[in-house]
Amino acid sequence: MNAQLLISGVIFGLSLGGIFFLMSIGLSLCFGLMRVITLDQLLYYSIGAYLTYTIGLLTGDVWLGIIGGVIVAAMSSFLVERVVFRRIYERDLAFSMITSFGVLIGGVGVIKYFWGLIPRPVPAPIAAQVNILGTDVPSYRLVIIGVAMLVYLGIWIFLNRTIIGKAIRAGTEDSGHVEGLGINVYRLFTITFIIAGALSGLAGGLYAPLIMVDPQMGLEVLAFVFMVVIIGGLGSIKGTLISSLLVGQVVSLGSLIYAPLAQMAPFAVMLLILLIKPTGLFGSTLQKR
Amino acid sequence: MNIVKWWWGLLLCFGLVALGRVFLPLPFAIEVLIFSIYTMGCNYLLGRVGFISFGQPAYLAVGAYAAAFYFFYLGNNPYLGLLIGIVVGMVVSLIIGPLFVRLRGDYFALVNLALAVIIFYLMQKVLANVTHGDNGLWFLTSLTATPILDLTRPDQFFIFAFLAAFALWVFYKYLDDTIFGALCLATKMNDDKVKSLGYSNFNIRLVAFVIANTTTAFAGAMYAVYLGFVSPAITGPERAADPVVVTILGGVGTLYGPLVGSVVYTGLKDVLSKVLGNWELVIGFLLVFIMLAGERGIWGSLEPQLRRLFTRKAAGGVSQ
């Protein structure tokens, strides 16, 4: 394997890791605060991608499409939280998992109804190439890495430096106590849900120019999102970042060696890590209340 | 004794199934029976051991593909194929069991679902030259007829599926009455106490895991024999929730839950998707609706009422 291939492989892996981070951070945030598993994040991911396609087609500006995708994804996650999740916060874990899965599958049906079955291409907003160490790299991939880093920083500042963020962090530890302080925990739940949905929409919008947008796209990345979340540890933001970068590299470099490895290698890594540490790298020991 | 009582219940229940054979179309009846066997394992894991097994389609696919490989490449005796499906299912769950049963409930659910998706990719893409990818393996015509209970004929297959389901029900009911059954419930309620009594939580969970998944693999092998072909769609991501949903719909941990749930779920799926046409939309909203409707499921909410009805009758008989 020559150096050029390796460098482009690493950059590819980093941008893939950034996308994985944005995709799975919503699931991780929601589990951390509310102890529900929200597979419907993958629906907001598809919604973000589809709106990027449609708005990009209508206005000719993909960036505008990504912004629109984020907004609509956030709105639909707000709707789902109000209509569905409000009723199952108190229930067993199986309920949130199946209900969110139902929302995801039903959402795929809705997408098929509106946009049809045909995969749609989205043009890349930046076509320029950047030269890094003698290798030409598409600068759009660098943009993705940058956005993912900014989002991580933003979440960190939000959770550690703002009063709402501090309340959310306190809620993950002991929601009864936070309620006792006169803070409306359900409002915190809603805020977290909207943030999670918006980030999933952002992942879809950013990823859309690199792949074809099709109705099954949410289900296709399902396995990767699980692996990222499990390797990093449910509910840990730092863990999600590290494991998404790890899985991105494993997928990218694995597919350079032998193409089918891209699907299987992260699974092997996950089993290995679970063998050593059953709660993932940074998993909390908190149980469902 | 207790035994006499539940025998009556089982006989009544399966009597109704046999009666249903007269009114319902044959494919529907067979589908319900196989589906109820499929759900039985999940029901046991969720109701008795407390594991949310979201990856049950993975074990279904293991059984189905084990049988399919045998039929397609090696031989054509349906009974041998079923046996191979069961054995391979047992071996696979013995291999991955020790790793999986150590996990906490939420991780167990996610890792299982990841396993189902991975097996889907394995069968669809990675092993495509063995499994023929999305086209699947076809072997319906190559199955040979067997002298007693010819499995290649649907009406005789129904009798076989009926007997198999009945035998499994008796087995699971018997399991409930053994010490092992009690220990399974105990690990779900309070695993520290089980440990202090000198039993190993790990062993109990492992045995329950293997039993349940072998049952599921058996259902997979039955699908292979009945349909005569196997494709990756059997473990597709959009079907991952089926067994857990049927379990909850029927009533978690109840004896007749899987059967009641299978009848209702298969029926609803058939009727609604025929009327509306958009299969995903139907499944999605069905799942959300079932989950929001109630925790106890159909049989779970029906059972206390039936019991009250029967005990009142019995008490009335004594007083007269």
Per-residue confidence in pLDDT tens, chain B, 320 aa: 455 566 666 777 777 777 777 777 788 888 888 888 888 888 888 888 888 878 888 999 999 999 988 888 887 788 888 899 999 999 999 998 888 888 877 788 888 888 888 888 888 877 878 878 778 788 777 777 777 777 778 888 888 888 888 888 888 888 888 888 888 888 888 888 888 888 888 888 899 999 999 999 999 999 888 888 888 888 877 777 788 888 888 877 777 778 888 888 888 877 877 777 777 777 788 778 877 776 677 777 777 777 777 776 655 544 43
Find residues 124-143 of chain B whose CB sits inside 8 Å of chain A: 125-126
Interchain CB distance below 8 Å, A102 and B283: yes
DSSP code of A282? S
Whether this model's ipTM surpasses 0.85 comes out as no
Record the pTM. 0.83
Question: Would you say B201 and B194 are in contact if contact means Cβ atoms under 8 Å apart?
Answer: yes
Q: Which two tokens stand for residue B198?
A: 């000198």
Determine phi and psi for B168, rounding to 5 degrees: -65, -40
Of residues B111, B238, B286, nearest to A230 (C-beta): B111
DSSP code of B53? -
Question: Would you say A135 and A8 are in contact if contact means Cβ atoms under 8 Å apart?
Answer: yes
User: CA torsion, points A21, A23, A28, A34, in degrees to nearest 10?
Assistant: 150
Express each pLDDT in A197-233 by its tens digit.
999 999 998 888 888 888 888 888 888 888 888 888 8
Q: Which two tokens stand for residue B78?
A: 């349906």
pLDDT greater than 60 at residue A287 = no
Interchain CB distance below 8 Å, A102 and B287: yes
Of residues A279 and A285, the one with the higher pLDDT is A279
Half-sphere exposure of residue B286: CA atoms within 13 angstroms, side-chain side: 26
Q: If phi over 0 gives left and psi between -120 and 50 gives alpha, with beta otherwise, what is residue B161?
A: alpha
Percent of chain A whose pLDDT exceeds 90: 13
Q: How far is B41 from chain A (nearest CA, A)?
A: 16
Express each pLDDT in A63-120 by its tens digit.
888 898 899 999 999 988 888 888 887 777 778 888 888 888 888 888 888 888 888 8
The reply to whether B238 touches chain A by the CB within 8 Å rule is yes
User: Closest by alpha carbon to A192, among A18, A13, A2, A36?
Assistant: A36
Question: Would you say B299 and B251 are in contact if contact means Cβ atoms under 8 Å apart?
Answer: yes
| Distances A6 to A128, A134, A242, B231, B239 between C-alpha atoms, Å | 20, 12, 20, 37, 38
Interchain CB distance below 8 Å, B106 and A93: yes
| Residue B248 pLDDT | 80
Specify the 3-state DSSP secondary structure of A212.
strand
pLDDT greater than 50 at residue A288 = no
Instruction: Tally the domains of chain B.
Output: 1
| Residue A177 banded pLDDT, cuts 50, 70, 90 | confident
- Using a CB-CB distance cutoff of 8 angstroms, which residues of chain A are in contact with residue B103? 274, 278
- Using a CB-CB distance cutoff of 8 angstroms, which residues of chain A are in contact with residue B46? 94
What's the angle, vertex CA A125, arms to CA A123 and CA A129, rounded to 5?
A: 105
Residue B238 one-letter amino acid: E
Q: Which domain holds residue B188?
A: 2-319
What's the angle, vertex CA B132, arms to CA B136 and CA A226, rounded to 5?
A: 80
